[in-house]
Amino acid sequence: MSEPDPTRRRTITGFSNPTVKFVRSLRDKKHRRAERKFLAEGLRLLTDARASGRLPEMLLMATGRDPHPLIAELETAVLDAGGEVVEMYAAILAKVTGKDNPQAVAGVFAEFDTALSAIERSVAPIWLVAQALRDPGNLGTMLRTGDAVGAGGLILIDDCADPFSAEAVRASMGAIFTQRIAQARWEDFLPWLRGGAGQLVAASLRDAVPYRAAPYAAPCFLLVGNESRGLPAAYEAECDLRVTMPMLGRADSLNAAVAAAVLAYEALAALG
Amino acid sequence: MSEPDPTRRRTITGFSNPTVKFVRSLRDKKHRRAERKFLAEGLRLLTDARASGRLPEMLLMATGRDPHPLIAELETAVLDAGGEVVEMYAAILAKVTGKDNPQAVAGVFAEFDTALSAIERSVAPIWLVAQALRDPGNLGTMLRTGDAVGAGGLILIDDCADPFSAEAVRASMGAIFTQRIAQARWEDFLPWLRGGAGQLVAASLRDAVPYRAAPYAAPCFLLVGNESRGLPAAYEAECDLRVTMPMLGRADSLNAAVAAAVLAYEALAALG
């Protein structure tokens, strides 16, 4: 381990610094896409990332923060890995993260490979699949649930919200770093799925069996649809299994992340 | 049924109208509390409310909206019940609701009685209980889940987010009108609970049994804690049953609304 390059540790004192503008731009999806980088905030999240083998390319910290052994370890790890450590006034960090009360650290991470071809389906019995989910909080919550049930990851079909948005990253509670993430169009996903083992399961009201004790089989791909419209009928028709949860009240559907979780825990009980 | 009073139907053409200011103020919790009224938006929500026996005291509509038989029925019902029908330019309605793209109708409702003493526990086998939940979206999602599992309602313990906030009402998908809602301090809730039949169940990591096939008993009160801190240990200690869900990944907890839903569906399978 060589001595870290001191030029990769610097302090920013001005709001108009290009690094401030760059990091700030990552709050915008268009810039995230162009740069293929995203922002994660908070010591807990960055510590989870490191434990999952992910280090930020750039570690951002407020000057005048309280010393913390985990922050010190993060600094060393980031510098050792060739990354940058950037300190800035708390007011500048607040501008960067867009939060009034910024947490003392944040990190700029390279986005992961989200090609379907990067997914090795045999590593886990359960995979979550979201179709046209528009709420980044729901995506983050699905990642968090996926981590809990030992899922392999989350596959995003059609036009979903951005899993690398600040809201999704926050809601994932660190699972953004442990769950594999792939994005694909349905017409690419289906041939990929059928090119190997895999049971496609939809939460559905059409031609469905009760979700309790349904014949789940690994690797089991649990598909939930858009918050307003649900799954297209043609997608449901392609599923190997359609399951339904009791709906005893006036509503005819659950929140998408809730439906995914109830299904995922049921599949886990069957397959785990 | 008498002829509706024509003075209770009017059109507002100015942004500075007192009614506009009044309705707009309901976006603020302090004013909601003082007035004991709340705002619900969208034809679906208002139709659900009516089906649940709840009519707005004031029905707000954009002028120039497309005619709709359900809106016409709502108008008649509100006027028959002694309420007001207020039309306004779409731009004014947008200001009132705080949304760029306002739905064509909204309603001002009287808040329900949220005293614990208004709860008749024997009407349902499951009740959801939230302790210090801070995210109104989580509260709304719990209401929606409660409706789905046939729960009696949602009891809010200690300082929770406001279930009558726009975000909670929206996330409830109409369940704000079907689920009973009570608010209480823990020191008032516990004696009330112990004053009758009722099993208090916590999602917990401490001294807990697996949530699958745990000995749930009706009426079953499913308690979930604050998003960051979970339940206070002293509250967990008061529970009749502590159950735990598998956590196979790095995270040690689920999203609060997800945990409530996984537990609620398990209790429903046992008690339903």
Which residues in chain B touch residue A150, judged by CB atoms under 8 angstroms apart?
246, 248-249
Q: What is the pLDDT of residues B34-50, one digit of tens each?
A: 999 999 998 889 999 99
Q: Do both B160 and B257 map to the same domain?
A: yes
Q: Is residue A48 part of a domain?
A: yes
* Closest residue on chain B to A257 (Cα): B258
pTM of the model: 0.93
Chain B positions touching A262 (Cβ under 8 A) are 261-262, 265
DSSP one-letter string for B252-268: S---HHHHHHHHHHHHH
| Cβ pair B257:A258 closer than 8 A | yes
Alpha carbon of A13: minimum distance to chain B alpha carbons (Å): 33
CA-nearest residue to B150 within chain A is: A248
- B124 belongs to a structural domain: yes
> Is residue A46 a part of any domain in this protein?
yes
In total, the C-beta contacts within 8 angstroms joining chain A to chain B are 114
Question: Rounded to a whole number, what is the distance in angstroms from the first to the last CA of chain A?
Answer: 41
Q: Among residues B207, B210, B156, B164, which one has the least CA distance to residue B186?
A: B156
Query: Are the Cβ atoms of B150 and A174 closer than 8 angstroms?
Result: no
Which DSSP letter does residue B216 get? -
* Residue in the structure block whose two tokens are 């079909």: A157
Quick check: A255 and B257 CB within 8 A? yes
Query: Mutation test of the interface with chain B: which of A134, A254, A266, choosing the one with the most B Cβ atoms within 10 A?
Result: A254
Would you state the pLDDT for residue B1?
44
Say if residue B142 is in the same domain as residue B187: yes
What's the CATH number where A35 sits? 3.30.1330.30
pLDDT at position A101: 63
* Band (B102; pLDDT cuts 50, 70, 90): low
Chain B nearest-CA distance from A15, in A, is 31
Beta bridge partners of A109: A38
**Nearest CA to CA, how far is A255 from chain B (Å)?**
7
Q: Which two tokens stand for residue B105?
A: 């109708």
Chain B residues with CB within 8 Å of chain A CB: 48, 51-52, 137, 141, 144-150, 171, 173-175, 178, 212, 245-251, 253-255, 257-258, 261-262, 265, 268-269, 272
Q: Which residue has the tokens 């409660």?
A: B146
Among B127, B245, B250, B271, most A C-beta atoms within 10 A, so best to mutate, is: B250
Q: Both B151 and B73 in a single domain?
A: no
**Chain B partners within 8 Å of A255 (Cβ):** 141, 144-145, 171, 257, 261
User: CB B255 to CB A257 under 8 A?
Assistant: yes
What's the pLDDT tens digit per position in B132-167? Answer: 999 999 999 999 999 999 999 999 999 999 999 999
Q: Are B87 and B158 found together in one domain?
A: no
Cα B20 to Cα A202: distance, rounded to the nearest angstrom: 45
What is the nearest CA distance from A153 to chain B, expressed in angstroms? 12
B25 shares its domain with B160: no
CB contact under 8 A, B174 and A272: no
- B50-97: pLDDT as tens digits: 999 999 999 999 888 888 899 999 999 999 999 999 999 988 998 888
Closest of A157, A181, A163 to residue A232, by C-alpha = A157
- Domain assignment present for residue A1? The answer is no
Same domain? A91 vs A141: no
3-state secondary structure at position B172: helix
Whole-angstrom distance, CA of residue A224 vs CA of residue A259:
7
With both helix axes pointing from N to C terminus, report the angle between A43-51 and A69-80 in degrees, rounded to the nearest 10.
50
pLDDT values of chain A reduced to their tens digit, one per residue, 272 residues: 455 556 788 999 888 999 999 999 999 999 999 999 999 998 889 999 999 999 999 999 988 888 889 999 999 999 999 999 999 998 899 888 877 665 679 999 999 888 999 999 999 999 999 999 999 999 999 999 999 999 999 999 999 999 999 999 999 999 999 999 999 999 999 999 999 999 999 988 778 999 998 999 999 999 999 999 999 999 999 999 999 999 999 888 999 999 999 999 999 999 98
Residue B24 to residue A179: CA distance in whole angstroms: 42
A65 domain-assigned: yes
Q: What's the total number of domains in chain A?
A: 2
- Dig out the tokens for B10 from the structure: 């009017």
Q: Is B175 exposed, middle or buried (0-12, 13-18, 19+ CB in 10 A)?
A: buried
The Cα A52–Cα A175 span in angstroms is 9
How many whole angstroms separate alpha carbon A183 and alpha carbon A252? Answer: 28
Tell me: do B157 and B255 sit in the same domain.
yes
Distance of CA A163 to the CA centre of its chain: 5
Last residue in a domain, options B110, B142, B157: B110
CA distances from B193 to A16, B198, B208, B217 (A): 58, 6, 21, 14
Q: Which residues contact A160 (CB under 8 A, 6 or more apart)?
A: A130, A131, A132, A133, A134, A139, A183
Quick check: is B1 in a domain?
no
User: Beta-strand (E) ranges in A22-125?
Assistant: 37-41, 58-62, 84-88, 105-110
Q: What confidence score (pLDDT) does residue B113 get?
A: 83
Chain B closest-CA separation from residue A83 CA (Å)? 25
Closest-CA residue in chain B for A45? B251
- Whether B97 maps to a domain, the answer reads yes
The pLDDT value given to residue B114: 87
Interface of A with B (CB under 8 A): 48, 51-52, 137, 141, 144-150, 171, 173-175, 178, 212, 245-251, 253-255, 257-258, 261-262, 265, 268-269, 272
Is residue A257 packed enough to be buried (19+ CB in 10 Å), middle (13-18) or exposed (0-12)?
A: buried
Question: Pick from B53, B80, B110: which residue ends a domain?
Answer: B110
Judgement on whether residues B178 and B151 belong to the same structural domain of the protein: yes
Q: Write out the two tokens for A110.
A: 């390279």
pLDDT at B8: 87
Q: Give the model's pLDDT for residue A19.
A: 93
Most confidently predicted of A233-242, B107-116, B202-211: A233-242
For the stretch B2-12, pLDDT in tens is 555 567 889 99
Q: Which tokens belong to B91?
A: 């731009």
Angle at B270 between CA B265 and CA B272, to 5 degrees: 75
Same domain for A252 and A135: yes
CATH assignment at residue B169: 3.40.1280.10
Q: Which of A154, A245, A255 to probe by mutation at the B interface, max B CB count within 10 Å?
A: A255
- pLDDT recorded at residue A1: 44
- Closest CB from A141, A148, A171 relative to B249: A148
The 3-state DSSP class for residue A150 equals coil
For residues B53 and B130, state if they share a domain.
Answer: no
Choosing from B110, B142, B169, the residue where a domain stops is: B110
Query: Given an 8 Å threshold on Cβ–Cβ distance, is B262 in contact with A257?
Result: no
Q: Assess whether A152 and A246 both reside in one domain.
A: yes
Residue B171 lies in a domain: yes
> Helix B256-271 and helix A256-271: axis angle, to 10°?
60
- What's the pLDDT at B251? 85
Query: C-alpha dihedral over B152, B116, B235, B156, to 10 degrees?
Result: 70
Nearest C-alpha in B relative to A263: B262
Are B171 and A255 an interchain contact pair (Cβ–Cβ within 8 Å)?
Answer: yes
Contact A251 B174 (CB under 8 A): yes
Residue B103 has pLDDT above 70, yes or no: no
Q: In terms of domains, do B153 and B246 share one?
A: yes
DSSP 3-state of A3 = coil
The predicted structure's pLDDT at residue A207: 81
- B258:A258 CB<8 A: yes
Return the closest-CA partner of residue A86 out of A179, A170, A30, A23.
A23
B94's tokens: 């947008």
Selected residue of B258, B266, B268 to mutate for chain A interface (largest A Cβ count, 10 A) = B258
**Residue B81's domain spans which residues?**
6-110
